[in-house]
Amino acid sequence: MKQFDVLVVDDEAEFRDLTVKILNKRGINARGAESGEQAMEILRHALIDVVLLDVKMPGIDGIETLRQIRIQNPLVEVVLLTGHASVESGIEGMKLGAFDYLMKPIELDPLLEKLSFAYEKKRLHQEKIELAQMKKHMAMPS
């Protein structure tokens, strides 16, 4: 698997730390954030490819965090994490542009699969943009 960077956002410390540890063991650069606010702060400075985001958190919740991520870091892909989500919150997240969602308790294989697919999508998206930029530069020789 290619190396990429994941941010795990969950107020539940036990779950967050365990997930980070497991992902690191699998060769993914993962780190944790305990709130939406902290996640936004990290995203301002660090290079993150995929965010694993819990929907239900105190403070700004997952859906609101997702909304902010779409504005601040539109290229970053988000996988939502729901505990006992109502039917709407899954769909709402998808409509706001989340890549996918997982239900707690999560299993490792689907988690790894979704994260790497999300990364793959981000990579393709980025390539497309780079290609377009290259074309622009070449079309306008300075």
- When binding is defined by CB under 8 A, the residue of 83, 108, 133, 137 that contacts other proteins is 83
Type and span of the H or E element at 111 = helix 108-139
Which of residues 17 and 127 has its CB atom nearest to other proteins in the complex?
127
Type and span of the H or E element at 117 = helix 108-139
**Is 31 within 8 Å of 7 (Cβ atoms)?**
yes
Interaction of residue 90 with other proteins, rule CB under 8 A: yes
| Pairwise CA distance, residues 18 & 22, whole Å | 6
**Is 42 within 8 Å of 48 (Cβ atoms)?**
yes
CB of 73 to other proteins, least distance (A): 20
| Sole window of 27-35, 39-47, 71-79, 81-89 interacting with other proteins (rule: CB under 8 A) | 81-89
**Is 118 within 8 Å of 100 (Cβ atoms)?**
yes
CB of 45 to other proteins, least distance (A): 30
- When binding is defined by CB under 8 A, the residue of 55, 57, 85, 115 that contacts other proteins is 85
- The two tokens of residue 59 are 């403070």
CB of 46 to other proteins, least distance (A): 26
How many residues bind other proteins (CB under 8 A)? The answer is 23
Q: What is the CA radius of gyration of the chain?
A: 16
Interaction of residue 112 with other proteins, rule CB under 8 A: no
**Residues forming the site for other proteins (CB under 8 A):** 82-88, 90-91, 94-95, 100-101, 103-105, 117, 120-121, 124, 127-128, 131
